[in-house]
Structure 1
């Protein structure tokens, strides 16, 4: 039985309800079900309660270094690096060293066959801890231009220490190759579970209220929640029976308060609802009519894919990384140009035409079948086993 370690470090926490945390949980559980020993290592404190449930067989190791106090020397390095970016993320490097010391204590007798790093700090930890003696697969969960375009040469060299880099979309391979020249890059997308017919959205049903839904953290720079609100404000007078549900956690209170002020100023309190988080988002999707996804960029767009699997036609930006890989304009959704006005036009295109919503929604269900968990986890298992065999062969030599 092989032992697989999933390293989930950086500023992330398993208590969050976002897509990466769900992928982490799903991967750990899937490999346990396939007969692997799985260890999940994170920065979290010992009291952390994962938002998504792990199977009991998954060993959780919380290193409690997420909010560790930084020495003055590290803070100085961080400020110098902001002006002259020649170091590899001093704060993350410092935490990585602390993490390795704790790992040596907690897992001193544990043999690891393969490591999957979920973010950059995880790559640093794996490199410091195992020094190339265990195969390391580095995952890229976001837009490549965001992950690598903002990295200096030292950071990119650290990423190249991985034996394999995994990206989420075929279009990401070429983009990643602009920055990474030595390490092989492969595409394995996220899983999208099939939704039973009785759990899919019934877009032909007669309803007194129609709902536009969005799912994702309330965020200004990536998720661009304000664009949906402002766009809906442009069309709401023509469609009085439509409402908006916004599902997701608040990351920045000041931004959220600005959104609330806009809603109140335009008297939209009865039409736009901030719903918080839920572990039963499928039920909410099933009750909706249109999925709005105004993100500026994505690595995959898990909530978008799950909405499509539910049979919802979607609206997204043509320029947004990964969104155009899922939404095919006029086939399973609507892609629009950047801006509030264009997004409003995309929404209106679906709001005014029930037949179009039904047709695009049905196709969306079909298009998501290629991301079935069985297919994706088979690919992951093949890659993991290949890496383990390759390292065993090297050691044999």
Structure 2
């Protein structure tokens, strides 16, 4: 089994997912090889723990140059072809990100089952350059897998693709020690970029902070470009929020970060099937989030284990945070419901779904 991604060790949900799935399949007796196209930048490298029980490879020693052509990509593509040819016919190649498909297409996958994945919503892809590349590269693969049934239906209807299924992400972990929800802290975890909407989160917090002066907003994450973080910090200062906002950078211990909070907030403009949201619920932390993707509303049952706001409506998100911060009994009830409900995405169930898909495609 091969997982092919942009990078083996770059910070982000796809990297976390790839290594989680690789470990799960290894535990079930599969031979797994995780392949990255390029190395992660030093300041964007994810700590992966001890040596994994599977192979990892990276095709380039440095970031590939822009203006690539098949000729300039030939050597790394040949390396990838050699990797695939090490396996007997019938292996499974899973391309997790569409950019990596440029090299996979040159490497050839004849004789193997091929699955192409999209780890973002249809809407998140539709208005980007990735849309046409998905249609180009994934139209003839054995199965194209977005993360939800709703997204699968959209790809079938609007992109005229007839090889589409769907596969949700598994729960990254169920911590033994959930949050006790005793700290007056709202937690956010995500990159400091446009997708994650931290600018909208600050606008939201500007409405909430005066109502709850004893609460703090704790933001975990880094920006790919230093200017982006400087811009957000300047916005924070302009809104008068410096006393109630903590900039925590990245964390290698997400469960501990979540245990330190009583509410989780997600302000993304678009998402796929967000792991941070799942991790917060597993930690028994109730969530307030923008309903920005089918994956969000599949994870969160609005009014039961979290509260959803219309995408981009900072006033509605602020009202939801105000509701949760003002009512500890509600926080406790929703937090416990979240921890229970998110277990429907347990690893055993998701791995079984994958193996049923493999068996179907082999036929």
TM-score by length of 1: 0.82
1-side partners of 2:37 and 2:162: how far apart?
26
Residue from 278, 281, 293 that aligns with 2:266: 293
Residue 14 in structure 1 maps to residue 11 in structure 2? no
SS in 2 for 1:178: helix
2-side partners of 1:364 and 1:168: how far apart?
20
* Counterpart in the other structure of 1:269: 242
**In the alignment, is the contact (CA less than 8 A) between 1:29 and 1:55 conserved in 2?**
no
Deviations 1:21-69 (CA, angstroms, capped at 9, x unpaired): 1001111111111111111111134998653247533111111166223
Residue 188 in structure 1 maps to residue 167 in structure 2? yes
Count of matched residue positions in the alignment of Structure 1 and Structure 2: 358
TM-score by length of 2: 0.89
1-side partners of 2:283 and 2:221: how far apart?
18
* Counterpart in the other structure of 2:78: 101
Query: What's the CA shift for 1:106?
Result: 5.6
Query: What's the CA shift for 1:104?
Result: 4.0
Structure 1 gaps of 5+ residues are 76-90, 391-397
Deviations 1:116-171 (CA, angstroms, capped at 9, x unpaired): 01112333433332354311011110111222453565651321121101121121
Residue from 207, 211, 232 that aligns with 2:185: 211
| Segment drifting more, 29-38 vs 177-186 | 177-186
2-side partners of 1:98 and 1:178: how far apart?
38
The root-mean-square deviation of aligned C-alpha atoms, in Å, is 2.5
* Counterpart in the other structure of 1:61: 57
Residue 176 in structure 1 maps to residue 176 in structure 2? no
Query: What's the CA shift for 1:234?
Result: 1.6
2-side partners of 1:66 and 1:175: how far apart?
37
Query: What's the CA shift for 1:111?
Result: 3.2
* Counterpart in the other structure of 1:363: 337
1-side partners of 2:124 and 2:73: how far apart?
22
| Segment drifting more, 247-256 vs 19-28 | 247-256
2-side partners of 1:210 and 1:363: how far apart?
20
**In the alignment, is the contact (CA less than 8 A) between 2:172 and 2:275 conserved in 1?**
no
2-side partners of 1:31 and 1:353: how far apart?
42
**In the alignment, is the contact (CA less than 8 A) between 2:171 and 2:345 conserved in 1?**
yes
* Counterpart in the other structure of 1:237: 210
Query: What's the CA shift for 1:233?
Result: 1.7
2-side partners of 1:161 and 1:229: how far apart?
43
Residue 375 in structure 1 maps to residue 349 in structure 2? yes
1-side partners of 2:343 and 2:193: how far apart?
29
* Counterpart in the other structure of 1:34: 28
2-side partners of 1:52 and 1:153: how far apart?
33
